Structure 1
Amino acid sequence: MTTAHSEEALKALMLLSLDGDEAAYRRLLTALRVLLVGYYSRRMAAATRADMEDLVQETLLALHSRRSTYDRNRPFTAWFFSIARYKLIDHHRGRGGRRLAETELDDEIESDFSEDRLTARMDVERLLDGLPLRQQELIRQVKLEGSSVADAANRTGQSESAVKVSIHRALKAIGERLRGTS
């Protein structure tokens, strides 16, 4: 059974709306509004209700203007929450700073929404999905987040040598999959 806010339900509504179903689009916007209020309230502790409402509206407008760029074969919620995240970054930058204590944003993210960046992130996640969970986490920590091998070893309780071997094997498996030899 799927809930109204599950990936499957939201994606189904998005696909129906792209095919012209206005009722599905209204249901999608209503469901997304609820999710956005929760998403932004956790990340904007000191925000006024009006600021949060403005941000919700801006995000839904961005969805509306970008919905034709949505790739039907990709996860909807990852695409949508990337839009929401960039709107939050813009909001904080427009207020003279990010208030990092209230947000989970990285310093490296640029203010411009980039469909290419979103696509690249989703491609990386798809490649990682084919790996064992332990290897996924090590790749994220060391290769994507920039942690040292020593830090990753400490966090996982493995030796540095085991972390290096696991990362090497994961990258080799990804390479084989990309070449079509696995």
Structure 2
Amino acid sequence: MDEIEPRLRSLMLAGLAGEAGPYRRLLDELSGLLRAYYRRRVPPGVDAEDLVQETLIAVHTRRATYDAGQPFTAWAYAIARYKLIDALRRGRAHLRAPAEAAEALFVTAGAEAAMASRDLERVMAELPPRTRDLIRDVKLEGLSTREAAQKHGMSESAVKVAVHRGLKALGGKYGGAGRDED
């Protein structure tokens, strides 16, 4: 998979730049990977080829949502996973896999971290820049409120209030507690 990711990512970026040839190669190569992905996962009664086509259409129609800073394969396989879940729900089928193949059912740790990072960046982008920077410094980078206050030319109290309000706003929108323990 290590050599596949850079190649697919570069083809996707070329396709996003309007180059038809590389985009066509991306879809051809991705269709082969998706066939293998679905072949190992679909139960009888679910047509793997239909899922491949549905996924390719979704990749095409949602291509503008791809974040070039994130791995392409994580993005594409997330779409494939949701298409499989949708198909299983439609058919009320249940996914069965031998225990020895269980690790193939899950996305690699690196892909999950990339998806979490992408989601965090989208959520944080909704905050004002100063609040976003303060939350990133205090909650993600581990700076003390004193260090963050010095870095941003603010009082410690102002940093605590800004972080608390930012987290509370996100908590209100996404259902979290939004509490600041500092």
TM-score (norm 2): 0.55
Partner of 2:24: 26
Partner of 1:122: 116
Whole-Å separation in 2 of the counterparts to 1:63 and 1:30: 12
Partner of 2:9: 11
Partner of 1:101: 96
**Structure 2 CA distance for partners of 1:20 and 1:53, relative to 1, 3 Å:** same
Whole-Å separation in 2 of the counterparts to 1:177 and 1:24: 41
**Cα offsets for 1:8-53 (capped at 9, x unmatched):** 00000000000000000100000000000000000014256xx111
User: After superposition, where does 1:126-145 map in structure 2 within 5 Å?
Assistant: none
Preserved contact between residue 14 and residue 25 of structure 1 (Cα < 8 Å) = yes
Whole-Å separation in 2 of the counterparts to 1:35 and 1:47: 21
Instruction: Determine helix, strand or coil for the equivalent of 1:8.
Output: helix
**Cα offsets for 1:52-85 (capped at 9, x unmatched):** 1111000000001100000111110000000000
Instruction: Determine helix, strand or coil for the equivalent of 2:31.
Output: helix
State the shift of 1:122 in Å: 3.0
Which residue, out of 52, 63, 67, partners 1:67? 63
Partner amino acid, structure 1, of 2:30: L
Preserved contact between residue 44 and residue 102 of structure 1 (Cα < 8 Å) = no
> How well do the aligned residues superpose, as a CA RMSD in angstroms?
3.4
Gaps of 5+ in 1: 107-117, 127-174
Aligned length: 118
Partner of 2:141: 179
State the shift of 1:96 in Å: 1.8
Whole-Å separation in 2 of the counterparts to 1:176 and 1:60: 41
**Structure 2 CA distance for partners of 1:91 and 1:33, relative to 1, 3 Å:** same
Which has more radius of gyration?
Answer: 2
Partner of 1:134: none
Partner amino acid, structure 2, of 1:122: A
State the shift of 1:124 in Å: 8.4
Preserved contact between residue 10 and residue 28 of structure 1 (Cα < 8 Å) = yes
Partner amino acid, structure 2, of 1:52: A
State the shift of 1:100 in Å: 3.0
Whole-Å separation in 2 of the counterparts to 1:55 and 1:31: 15
